[in-house]
Amino acid sequence: MSQLQELIDFSGEDLPIEYIKRGSEEIEKINKDFLSGFPKLNFNSNHNILLIGLPKVKEEMKSKLTIALKGYLKKNNYIQFVDIELNNLGQAILSYENEDQAQQAAEQITNQNFDAKHQLLAFTQKQINHINQTAEYTPIALKSRQELLAFHKDPRAAVTIVQEKTKLSLKWLNSLEKKLEDNVNEKKLPSYDRLQWSPLGQYLVLFTENEFSLYGAQELEQLHIFEHKRVSELLFSPDEQYMISFDGLQQFIIWNIREERQLRQIVLQQSSIKQFKFNKDNKWLALQTQDEIQIYEAPEFYQKNQLNLKAVGVKQIEWVPQTNYLAVVCYGKDIKTQIFLHDYKRNIDVKWRNIAFEIDSIQIFVHTYGKWVATLIKKKQKNKVFATTIQVGNLNRIDPFEIDEHTINEDVESIFPELNTGKFGLSYREKDKQQKPTQQFTFHLYSVQEDSKKGIKLHQLGEQKGRDTNELLWASNGNYFAMVNKTKNSPDQGKVEFGQISRKNEQLIIEITKSTNHFYMSHAQWDPTGIYFITMSDLWHSVNIWSAIGEQLIKDTVTKITDIHWRNKPIHLLSLKEEQELQNNSKQFVKKYEAEDDKILNKAKYDREQKRKEMKEQFTQYLNDKKKIYNDTKEQRIKLLGWNDEDPKNFVLYQKIIKEEIVN
């Protein structure tokens, strides 16, 4: 009797025994032939990895595939295997000298493209054992987007406070009663290295040595865990559907957050890695290497080789929202300095103004809604910076490129951009009579102005000289700013100056509204709406919350505080289509909401008017009721009086005449 007959009970089948025997033997023969193609190596060693996704080849082509695989690993600087066993199904077992090499090789190879049609997956013995030991699949518990963004509906600002790196609480700011109210009960956190909020505030990220975790929704539950060792940088896509983690050395991993799935792993040489950027519609990811810009396409993020851009000396790249442009800056020793916008749909470049002088550095900034691009260029002579120029290019007028600029004959130390409303702050250290740097700073403030006739203009708002502060923080609405000094051990540490941009005689001017101090301040941050400002001192465990003009709303001491952050909110909760609808029908919306504003701002007057209106309606109703009773009793009145009191013929008109005489 065959093995198959022993395993399966055929007693209930109405078939002759010879047919069952012959069929079982044929099935066993087919299985034996099929399994002969698998690797014969016993996969029990922790020194081995299982590799799948290779091209399927015939027996005589296995040696060539082995050579191709070795060349692929060498080209990408992956760890070479000691031994290999291939089958005909695109699978192989690779052997390494030790377990660490096998683990590292699996991390390098998995999710990589062997060629244009084959993507590799690699598994260690531990991973296979984990899969085999999983008794039941537990689906990921997903929160809806409405649940993740539920807190956005609350107009109050949310503050995250962490104590002793183990206790987390989320509090609401009640600005009317000037106190912090509990929103989430105190949560115990696992040990972590650092934390950050995602740009939309959907996720709080905790980083550890081997992984990072995402907490979210209204109650800050643990939602997702991702394995990636020593993550130094984490970038979310604009809609927070994808993210890319980087270990600071070689390895990038692109994740689908909702599916907890690794989409792509990119391993590059350490010296070639520069930066990576998602574009605003989440369709493209640009990865800047040493002499090339690589483009990856969502949702699986395969590399679009035809869109890759060769560029030498690239220092910075930025996607331009609502356009097809990628802004690129190139410079360096023996490299031509150039700034250009690459149209990746038409594969053409739009050149910036030529730069014929020696430069020290260039930074590029892009307007949130894609109307302009700005650059900060440091000019140098004999290895010394002597001037700094800020330029703004109008993206609606690029043939030729319309650029406005302003130059400061100083070595600007820092630039503070606010890209939503187009505000810039530039600061440099002042010098004494001997031309030695002092501890005081000068700030130059600029605003990008839009005009239908004049185009985009860079307007200088003014200067703030002799300041003891060295950092400028803009509110997201661009109307307010704060100048602070957080420098440790500085005599001016803790100084805060609040300012606003106001309009006078149709001109924008700077006004300092408040100068104050938070001793030993170590943290300062605007809330996402640009209405509140928070400062914190690690040394004194003190927290202050201020209004935009510098009024102190909260003064508190939080025991053993280690982190404090505003929970992020998007600048706009409406889609672009809804925003355009608001702009096109602005007059209707203005009338509607002005009426509602009047009700709120003049509540007492509104209440009086409502009361008068209500009393008038009640009195009118009273008169109507009495008139109805009067009309219904007309017949009774005629019988009682004997005549109709409404008939004018029944009335006699008497006229009294007074005659006066004048007596001399």
Q: For residue 73, what is the domain's CATH number? A: 3.30.70.330
Domain end: 133, 162, 184, which one? Answer: 133
User: Residue 393: pLDDT band by 50, 70, 90 thresholds?
Assistant: very high
Nearest to 139 by CA among 260, 233, 22, 243: 260
Packing angle, helices 586-601 and 576-584, rounded to 10? 80
Question: Averaged over 100-112, what is the pLDDT?
Answer: 84
The answer on 54 and 17 residing in a single domain is no
Give whichever of 14-23, 205-214, 245-254, 276-285 has the largest mean pLDDT: 205-214
Nearest to 230 by CA among 214, 199, 253: 253
Contact 28, 3 (CB under 8 A): yes
Peptide bond into 400 cis (omega under 30): yes
Task: Kindly tell me if the per-residue pLDDT of 236 is higher than 50.
Answer: yes
User: Residue 37: pLDDT band by 50, 70, 90 thresholds?
Assistant: very low
What distance lies between CA 341 and its chain's CA centroid?
Answer: 23
Task: Kindly tell me if the per-residue pLDDT of 74 is higher than 60.
Answer: yes
pLDDT recorded at residue 131: 62
Task: Kindly tell me if the per-residue pLDDT of 651 is higher than 80.
Answer: no
Encode pLDDT of 592-621 as tens digits: 777 776 766 667 677 788 888 999 999 999
The share of the chain scoring above pLDDT 70, in percent, equals 85
Task: Kindly tell me if the per-residue pLDDT of 227 is higher than 80.
Answer: yes
Give whichever of 95-104, 329-338, 480-489, 550-559 has the largest mean pLDDT: 480-489
| Phi, psi dihedrals of residue 650, rounded to the nearest 5° | -85, 5
505-539 burial, b at 16+ Cβ within 10 Å, e below that, comes to eeebeeeeebeeebebbebbbbbbbbbbbbbbbee
pLDDT recorded at residue 263: 87
Q: Does the residue 199 lie in any domain?
A: no
Quick check: helix, strand or coil at residue 145?
Answer: helix
Alpha-carbon Rg for the chain, nearest whole angstrom, is: 38
Encode pLDDT of 183-210 as tens digits: 767 788 888 888 899 988 889 999 988 8
In whole angstroms, what is the distance from residue 544 CA to residue 539 CA? 14
Q: Does the residue 353 lie in any domain?
A: no
The answer on 28 and 58 residing in a single domain is no
- Mean per-residue pLDDT over the chain, rounded: 82
Mean pLDDT lowest for which of 2-11, 317-326, 366-375, 619-628? Answer: 2-11
pLDDT recorded at residue 379: 92
Helices (H), 191-284: none
The answer on 110 and 85 residing in a single domain is yes
The answer on 78 and 9 residing in a single domain is no
pLDDT recorded at residue 652: 64
Task: Kindly tell me if the per-residue pLDDT of 125 is higher than 60.
Answer: yes
pLDDT recorded at residue 242: 92
Nearest to 327 by CA among 283, 290, 279: 279
Nearest to 200 by CA among 156, 168, 152: 152
Question: Averaged over 58-67, what is the pLDDT?
Answer: 86
The share of the chain scoring above pLDDT 90, in percent, equals 24
Decide which of 251 and 331 is more confident: 331
Decide which of 379 and 312 is more confident: 379
The answer on 69 and 29 residing in a single domain is no
Other C-beta atoms within 10 Å of 174: how many?
A: 14
The answer on 81 and 16 residing in a single domain is no
Q: Does the residue 581 lie in any domain?
A: yes
Q: Does the residue 384 lie in any domain?
A: no
Task: Kindly tell me if the per-residue pLDDT of 135 is higher than 60.
Answer: no
Q: What DSSP string describes 190-218?
A: PP-SEEEE-TTSSEEEEE-SSEEEEEETT
Amino acid letter at 588?
Q
Task: Kindly tell me if the per-residue pLDDT of 576 is higher than 60.
Answer: no
Q: Does the residue 299 lie in any domain?
A: no
Question: Averaged over 653-662, what is the pLDDT?
Answer: 69
In whole angstroms, what is the distance from residue 328 CA to residue 336 CA? 13
pLDDT recorded at residue 120: 85
Mean pLDDT lowest for which of 99-108, 379-388, 648-657? Answer: 648-657
Q: What DSSP string describes 539-588?
A: TTTEEEEEETTS-EEEEEE-TTEEEEEEPP--S--S-HHHHHHHHHTHHH
Amino acid letter at 62?
K
The answer on 75 and 24 residing in a single domain is no
Q: Which two tokens stand for residue 500?
A: 């606003």
The answer on 114 and 57 residing in a single domain is yes
Packing angle, helices 603-632 and 634-641, rounded to 10? 50
The answer on 21 and 54 residing in a single domain is no
Encode pLDDT of 401-449 as tens digits: 889 999 999 999 999 999 988 999 999 999 988 888 899 999 999 999 8
Task: Kindly tell me if the per-residue pLDDT of 378 is higher than 90.
Answer: yes
pLDDT recorded at residue 466: 93
Q: Starting from the edge strand earliest in sequence, which strands make up the sheet with 532-537, in order? A: 523-526, 532-537, 542-547, 552-557
Question: Averaged over 121-125, what is the pLDDT?
Answer: 84
Domain end: 90, 118, 133, which one? Answer: 133
581 to each of 179, 314, 321, 322, 596, how far by Cα in Å?
A: 38, 39, 19, 17, 20
Q: Residue 325: exposed, middle, or buried by beta-carbon count in 10 A (0-12, 13-18, 19+)? A: buried
Q: Does the residue 68 lie in any domain?
A: yes
Task: Kindly tell me if the per-residue pLDDT of 7 is higher than 60.
Answer: no
User: Residue 62: pLDDT band by 50, 70, 90 thresholds?
Assistant: confident
In whole angstroms, what is the distance from residue 457 CA to residue 227 CA? 48
Q: Does the residue 177 lie in any domain?
A: no
Q: Does the residue 112 lie in any domain?
A: yes
Encode pLDDT of 298-336 as tens digits: 888 888 877 788 888 888 999 999 888 999 999 888 888
The answer on 61 and 29 residing in a single domain is no
User: Residue 455: pLDDT band by 50, 70, 90 thresholds?
Assistant: confident
Q: Which two tokens stand for residue 2?
A: 């065959």
Decide which of 385 and 7 is more confident: 385
pLDDT recorded at residue 526: 94
pLDDT recorded at residue 572: 63
In whole angstroms, what is the distance from residue 195 CA to residue 181 CA? 22
Does the model's pTM come out above 0.75? no
Task: Kindly tell me if the per-residue pLDDT of 495 is higher than 90.
Answer: yes
Domain count, the chain: 3
User: Residue 35: pLDDT band by 50, 70, 90 thresholds?
Assistant: very low
The answer on 55 and 128 residing in a single domain is yes
Domain of residue 66 covers: 48-133
Decide which of 200 and 374 is more confident: 374
> DSSP strand E in 452-506: where?
455-467, 471-474, 480-484, 495-504
Helices (H), 250-400: none
User: Residue 288: pLDDT band by 50, 70, 90 thresholds?
Assistant: confident
Mean pLDDT lowest for which of 191-195, 214-218, 247-251, 345-349? Answer: 247-251
